[in-house]
Amino acid sequence: MEIMFSEYSESLFDDQESRDLDRRTIENTGISGSHLMGFAALSVYQRYRKRILKSDSVFILCGNGNNGGDGLALAFFLLQEGKESKVFLKEGLLSEESSYYKNLLLRSGGKILNLESDPLLFEGENVFIVDALLGTGFQPPIREPYESVFEKIKEQKRRSPKRTFVLSLDVVSGFSEESILPFQVDALAEIGMKKWRNRFLPSEIGKSFHRIGFPTSQKKDFDPDVKIKKTLWKRIPDSSLKEVLKREENSHKYKNGSLLLIGGSQGMSGAALSSLFAFHELGGGISLLLSPSEKTIRSVLKKDPSLMVDKIGEASEILSRSFVKKASVFLFGPGLKPEECPVVDLPKDKYCVLDAGALKVYGEKILHEKVILTPHTGELETLLNGKIRNVKDGISRTSEYARSTNVHVLWKRHSSFLICPNGDLFFWERTEPKLAVMGTGDLLAGILAFFLARNFSIPAATQLSFSLLTNAAERSKGFPTASGIRKLLQKGEK
């Protein structure tokens, strides 16, 4: 069964792209801006209706941009349900759409207070606050009156944390990927399209997504002028992964994947074995492990005498080995000391995974697009020759590095990024606490090598690897070791 990867991914949009998509949707589809605003308000209302109606008081805080217009539309629809809210609106010019809902609210008997001059006092035992203050047009720093409003929200949450619910519309006002939350938020209602900045919110914030008619399947399909895309990966379910892992009845060992693994320095054989066993337990057909350590070789043969293992030997002779010529994937680095890593010209017809001890050795070389480097943050800082100040800085510098060296870089962190040499970026947002254990990086390297040996592209193989590893970790009881997770890779659904 062929996996439809488009079903398990969504485009991400930065602030400018979000505004452009909004404008193009109105221009190209004929849907008016006021209709989109109304769709958004109704969808948010339906999602949070029970909590809103149970609240003693509802406060809707609106800026004078279209984000504030969403708040005004929500206030209007609440009024139709008999739930009056206290609406505070910042002075200033409003868009046609925002003015439409402002006037509807006023004509329906609603009241609008001045955000800058009227006192903002959160009253009631159970308080529901809607943040519709700043949208995708916000640029730091935070200024008045927003700074004072944020302080009042923070004070209310400190005073009554369990009885105050804060909902942000579309984005959290004043937040960006390199900043901290300006106030505590309980939930985000993301509207129309997945926003890049929202991927960096704390995991404890609940997210709901509200589709209101934007054509967001792929940015390149919607706008051919877009050269670079950002994609959010979804987890691929076990049912689909099972089909991918099946072997054909008439398959042979090379067709099931062949791997050259170089790793396992003395005292570090476990890392190489973890990668190697992950490759084979998933169905990899044949492998050769080259190690600098006689002790590692003995350890491998003791565990499984059927495995092929040998000393590394002279670097100049590695590529001339008959098996190496036929191997479909190279994996260099698990459990390997950098000074023991051989330097070879990586063949352009083979996928090559460079991990751990191989990163520094190959890090400054111009390679090819079938090469993927898999650094964690510390290793990436070494490759970039400097500290990473924040996510935005890391992505920007890594993108330039990937372009200049012509490689893919998988930046491994609690939420990970695959950065391609053409600038495209893939984001694995899902975090699994059980994977925060020594050895999971070695597992990931072996899993990645397996899917590449099955001739999946680097982005597809990476998404499959994260999905498989996460699914296995979730099936485990308690907090297992990496070895315990590895044994669950093929177990399927709970």
pLDDT, tens only, 456-483: 999 999 999 999 999 998 888 888 888 8
| Residue pair 432/474 in contact by the 8 Å Cβ criterion | yes
Read off the tokens for 192: 């129309």
Peptide bond into 215 cis (omega under 30): no
Whole-number Å distance between alpha carbons of 140 and 131: 17
Task: Provide the 8-state DSSP code for 412.
Answer: B
223 plus 327 within the same structural domain: no
* Domain match, 81 and 51 both: yes
Cα 84 vs. chain centroid, distance in angstroms?
38
In this prediction, residues 420-434 reach a mean pLDDT of 88
At which of 228, 255, 278 does a domain end? 228
Q: How confident is the model at residue 220, as a pLDDT?
A: 47
Residues 19 and 100 in one domain: yes
Residue of 214 and 422 predicted with greater confidence: 422
Q: Tell me, yes or no, whether 204 and 272 share the same domain.
A: no
Mean of pLDDT over the chain: 91
Q: Which helix (H) or strand (E) holds 250?
A: none
* 464 inside domain: yes
CATH no. for residue 252? 3.40.1190.20
Residue 98 pLDDT exceeds 60: yes
Q: Are 120 and 88 spatial neighbours (Cβ–Cβ below 8 Å)?
A: yes
Task: Tell how strand 351-354 and strand 329-332 pair up.
Answer: parallel
Which has the minimum average pLDDT: 109-123, 222-236, 292-306, 435-449?
222-236
| Closest of 330, 334, 293, 339 to residue 439, by C-alpha | 334
| Lowest mean per-residue pLDDT among 174-183, 286-295, 377-386, 463-472 | 174-183
pLDDT band at 494 (very low <50, low <70, confident <90, very high): very low
* pLDDT > 80? residue 250: no
Work out how many domains the chain is built from and give that number. 2
Whether residue 252 sits in one domain with residue 142:
no
Residue 292 has pLDDT above 70, yes or no: yes
Query: Which of 209, 228, 247 is the endpoint of a domain?
Result: 228
The confidence score (pLDDT) of residue 492 equals 55
**Same-domain check for residues 307 and 209:** no
347 and 217 inside one domain: no
**How much is the average pLDDT of 229-235?**
92
**Is 218's pLDDT higher than 70?**
no
The share of the chain scoring above pLDDT 90, in percent, equals: 71
Range of the domain at 83: 13-228
User: How does pLDDT run across 110-164, given as a tens digit for each residue?
Assistant: 999 999 999 999 999 999 999 999 998 888 889 999 999 999 999 999 999 999 9
Rounded (to 5) percent helix, strand, coil in the chain? 40, 15, 40
Residues 347 and 252 in one domain: yes
Residues 219, 13: contact at Cβ < 8 Å?
yes
Does the pTM exceed 0.95?
A: no
Give residue 217's pLDDT: 54
CATH number where 127 lies: 3.40.50.10260
Which of 120-129, 416-425, 430-439 has the weakest average pLDDT?
Answer: 430-439
Taking 60 as the threshold, does the pLDDT of residue 224 lie above it?
no
CA distance 18 to 199: 14
| Residue 221 pLDDT > 80 | no
Residue 1: predicted pLDDT: 53
